[in-house]
Amino acid sequence: MASLRRVKVLLALNLIAVAGFVLFLAKCRPITAKSGDSFRDLRPRAEVANLTARGIGSVQDAVLKRLSLLEDIVYRQLNGLSKSLGLIEGYGGRGKGGLPATLSPEEEEKAKGPHEKYGYNSYLSEKISLDRSIPDYRPTKCKELKYGKDLPQISIIFIFVNEALSVILRSVHSAVNHTPAHLLKEIILVDDNSDEEELKAPLEEYVNKRYPGLVKVVRNQKREGLIRARIEGWKVATGQITGFFDAHVEFTAGWAEPVLSRIQENRRRVILPSIDNIKQDNFEVQRYENSAHGYSWELWCMYISPPKDWWDAGDPSLPIR
């Protein structure tokens, strides 16, 4: 209990420091800009000077940059919460860069039971960082696209039942790490009446400490099934847009902006991002070729080759209907 109180006090002090810092920035007096100053220097006085010279839009940019820096500071303070769960944080380690991760012969023996239970190598998942880096497989033209700053916010909803804790938390970390903070309204975890003890108090305590106010947990009192579970998540969502995902995914950089932009243009659109594969045995990220998603007459999800007019346009950044 004493250690829990210390963590709460530390978190409260960090939040107070963040609020005070933002208020200080808002009231900071103008400073004359010097030639050669740039945001790359990360020097507060130079930044404030550039803000004054470049106007309100730049003020917003700088505040976002400052908040990002503060986010990193708070991250370093909170880093290590996963150790009590036997999990790892940080961008390195096994599986870094989406490469295949491996186990020693002794570890392979221990992994057999959990592998059969979950349908993927959950033991290996615990040895892979919750923040591991993965490759950016977007076509070059996609990376060059620019988007407005007025995009709507999204509520990300994960549905799970008896999923491995490490896989759920990697999905959460990945969503936070690769979604711009001003676009991510919240993350909602819908537990469709799981039996696993680690998915109860340990999961809830971790997300409440690690991402206070950002991650919500919804508990179904009985097994509702995928669609009704999604609806339960939608009921508590407060974002302008809701995104439904499996709880065993990893997001890449730049995934959110094109999705939100397309819906902003036409609210009737239902968007499905391009989905690559995470191999169940070694968690290697495997690129899938360009394709659309659809359903067979039996309602099985299937990949559909893009139509001829899409190929003829010669622009891989175009959406596929």
The position carrying tokens 């940019």 is: 61
How confident is the prediction along the chain (321 residues), in pLDDT tens digits per residue? 444 455 455 555 565 555 555 455 444 444 333 333 332 333 333 333 344 445 556 677 777 776 666 666 565 555 668 888 889 998 889 999 999 999 999 899 888 888 888 989 999 999 999 999 999 999 999 999 999 989 999 999 999 999 999 999 999 999 999 999 999 999 999 999 999 999 999 999 999 999 999 999 999 999 999 999 999 999 999 999 999 999 999 999 999 999 999 999 999 999 988 889 999 999 999 998 888 888 889 988 888 889 999 999 999 999 988
Give the C-alpha separation, 37 to 53, whole Å.
11
Give the C-alpha separation, 285 to 98, whole Å.
5
pLDDT value at residue 44: 37
Q: Which token pair is 150?
A: 């007025």
- What is the layout of strands, in order, in the sheet containing 184-191? 215-219, 184-191, 154-160, 241-246
Q: Which of 320, 318, 321, 317 is nearest to 144 (CA)?
A: 317
Residues of the chain with CATH 3.90.550.10: 147-276
Single-letter code of the amino acid located at 217: V
Please name the residues in contact with 256: beta carbons below 8 A apart, sequence gap of 6 or more.
151, 154, 178, 179, 180, 183, 184
Three-state secondary structure call for residue 29: coil
pLDDT value at residue 239: 97
Question: Are the CB atoms for 124 and 156 separated by under 8 Å?
Answer: no
Continuous segment of H or E residues that includes residue 184: strand 184-191
Q: Which token pair is 3?
A: 């250690």
Q: Which fold has domain 147-276?
A: Spore Coat Polysaccharide Biosynthesis Protein SpsA; Chain A (3.90.550)
Torsion angles phi and psi, residue 149, rounded to 5: -90, 0
| Sign of the alpha-carbon dihedral angle for 244, 255, 165, 106 | positive
Question: Are the CB atoms for 133 and 91 separated by under 8 Å?
Answer: yes
Give the C-alpha separation, 213 to 18, whole Å.
15
